[in-house]
Amino acid sequence: MIETQKIIGGHVIHLPSVDSTNLFAIDLLANSKPGEGTVVVTDDQTRGRGQSGSSWQSEPKKNAALSVILYPTFLHPREQFYLSQIVSLSIWDALHDYLGDKVRIKWPNDIYVNDKKICGILIQNSISSNKILSSVIGIGLNVNQQKFSNDLPNPTSLIIETGEEYPILDVLQVLYKKLNQYYLQLQTKNFALINTAYIERMYKFGELANFQDQDGLNFTGAIEGTSPTGKLKINTPDGVRYFSLKEVSFKR
């Protein structure tokens, strides 16, 4: 992948502590227009947020907690899942350098190492009728944290997986580079290529697994990919089914 223009990471706002980098970035957008690719990063995120209002817990100075401000006005709202895909692919690519092929993307955009979660992503878009006006890409990546709350079902980190401690700044620089590369690729709107890469890296792709739907009904099936709008596609004994966020979960 050729990088011809640096968008992400050219301007970094470093905060010693903040409740949420996403909330800070959204407030920044409400009161000004920061340059595209502006990064808000913190040593201590006290009230990190995950998908659908869940929390993201992070030990101070141990992890990468950041938000990136983008203006993907070239995307129609119905194309917003491709933005989610390239963020997931960026982090997969960055972690693959450290961990190899055991890194997977758990739909829609959690990053797993084997069966454990190492990174969460929260994307908050401002949308008009025909384009995405702005996006705040929140990323929480576990780097040097070794102990986690019992409330978290399956956390892991780079240090747990490799036994090595990593300078947070070095990890951030890798993330900026990968995000920049994939964002430039997104601008070409080669959605087929992006989608293929995403599917190839999906957690449990093509494997028979146990699931539970939003009605509490258990079923077996195999993940086949996603729809263009980002729904999860599962092949079941009763045929192919599509699920939106929070409509399906893995059943152990």
What integer pLDDT is reported at residue 55 of this predicted model? 56
Tens of pLDDT, residues 180-213? 999 999 999 999 999 999 999 999 999 999 999 9
Judging by beta carbons within 10 Å of its beta carbon (0-12, 13-18, 19+), is residue 140 exposed, middle or buried?
A: buried
What integer pLDDT is reported at residue 54 of this predicted model? 54
Contact indicator for 232, 222 with CB cutoff of 8 Å: no
117: left (phi over 0), alpha (psi -120 to 50) or beta: beta
pTM: 0.94
What integer pLDDT is reported at residue 149 of this predicted model? 87
What integer pLDDT is reported at residue 80 of this predicted model? 97
What integer pLDDT is reported at residue 3 of this predicted model? 52
Q: Choose which CATH entry (3.40.50.150, 3.30.43.10, 3.30.930.10, 3.40.50.460) describes domain 12-200.
A: 3.30.930.10
Tens of pLDDT, residues 57-66? 789 999 999 9
What integer pLDDT is reported at residue 91 of this predicted model? 98
Enumerate the domain spans of the chain: 12-200, 208-250
What integer pLDDT is reported at residue 171 of this predicted model? 98
What integer pLDDT is reported at residue 252 of this predicted model? 77
Q: Which amino acid is at 167?
A: P
Cis peptide bond prior to 237, omega within 30° of 0: no
Parts of the chain with a pLDDT under 50:
1-2, 52
Gap between the Cα atoms of 183 and 8, Å rounded: 9
**Token pair recorded at residue 125:** 């878009």
Radius of gyration of the chain (CA): 18
What integer pLDDT is reported at residue 23 of this predicted model? 97
At residue 18, the 3 state secondary structure works out as strand
Interhelix angle for 168-187 vs 80-99, to 10°? Answer: 140
- Largest Cα–Cα distance of the chain, in whole Å? 52
Tell me the fold of 208-250.
Answer: SH3 type barrels. (2.30.30)
> Of all helices (H) and strands (E), which one includes residue 185?
helix 168-187
Distances (CA, A) of 218 to 206, 214, 252: 18, 10, 11
Per DSSP (E only), the strands in 44-108 are 48-49, 55-56, 64-70, 103-106
What integer pLDDT is reported at residue 150 of this predicted model? 85
What integer pLDDT is reported at residue 51 of this predicted model? 52
Q: How many residues does the chain have?
A: 252
Q: Which amino acid is at 208?
A: L
Q: What is the DSSP letter of 231?
A: P
